[in-house]
Amino acid sequence: MTILFPGSVYTKGAGRFGLGTVEGYPINGDVSSVFGAKDMAAHSEGHNGTDIAAPEGEYIYAPCGMTITDLFSLDIVSTDPLFQQIKDWGGNSVWGVFTDAQGNEWRTMFAHLSEPAVTLNEGDYLEQGDFIGYVGSTGLSTGPHLHWVLGPGENRWLGRGNGNVEALDYCATTAGEVEPPKEDISSELLSVNDSLEAARTSSYAIISALHEARAAIDRALTLVG
């Protein structure tokens, strides 16, 4: 699986809800609902993103470099029915587009914000770690959390069933990683020990022979003297 969000660390099975935790970007928090879940009436057709529970007002950061395509604010009256529907559901939200290393275009969005960053404008380019806004509970929400959606670039408004995926699958992970098996080197160690022992025995033999040779020379010198 391609890692799109290397600064986002997903730990599977951890957290208050047993669904994992996220550390780094976009926020630190416990995963409270995953993509495709049917854990409440609002998710009866399958959850269209990932929910990360976090305190109201917690800072949200861009999990990757992206261009901001859309900003939806409850403070602005929408005359377009689609835009109003998006706000009724997602409250204050930030939408972006980016391209991965293979040239594939992706869309992502962050919903239910208490408010987006006041300096943010459509068309802005954000680097990974740039400030997006604050965690909230606007729109169709049961409590403070971040709703994070990831889908293909052609899914303009990230509608359900149009190629959206689980964002967590594209994060770095600390679970499920298996260390490569350690090579059994015991036989090699035994062989090395045997070689060392043989060398030690040989050294003793050489030293003993030298001592005997020296003693023989001393005896010969005594006889000559």
CA-to-CA distance for 9 and 173, rounded, in angstroms?
5
Q: What average pLDDT does the segment 129-158 reach?
A: 96
Whether pLDDT at 14 is above 60 = yes
CA-to-CA distance for 39 and 29, rounded, in angstroms?
19
Task: Assign 196 to helix, strand or coil.
Answer: helix
Q: Whole-structure pTM over 0.85, yes or no?
A: no
**81 Cβ contact partners less than 8 Å away, ≥ 6 residues apart:** none
- What pLDDT does 208 receive? 58
- What pLDDT does 179 receive? 36
pLDDT tens sequence across 46-84: 778 999 999 999 999 999 999 999 999 999 888 899 999
- What pLDDT does 213 receive? 61
- What pLDDT does 79 receive? 87
Task: Assign 138 to helix, strand or coil.
Answer: coil
CA-to-CA distance for 153 and 149, rounded, in angstroms?
12
| Cis peptide, bond prior to residue 26, ω within 30 of zero | yes
Torsions phi, psi for 102 (to 5 deg): -90, 0
Quote the tokens at residue 114: 């208490």
Residue whose token pair is 């160690």: 189
CA-to-CA distance for 35 and 49, rounded, in angstroms?
5
**Paired strand residues for 10:** 22, 173
- Quick one: which of 84, 21, 32, 29 has its CA closest to 61? 29
Beta strand ranges found along the chain (DSSP E): 5-11, 21-24, 29-33, 50-53, 59-61, 66-72, 92-99, 105-113, 115-116, 125-126, 131-134, 145-152, 171-173
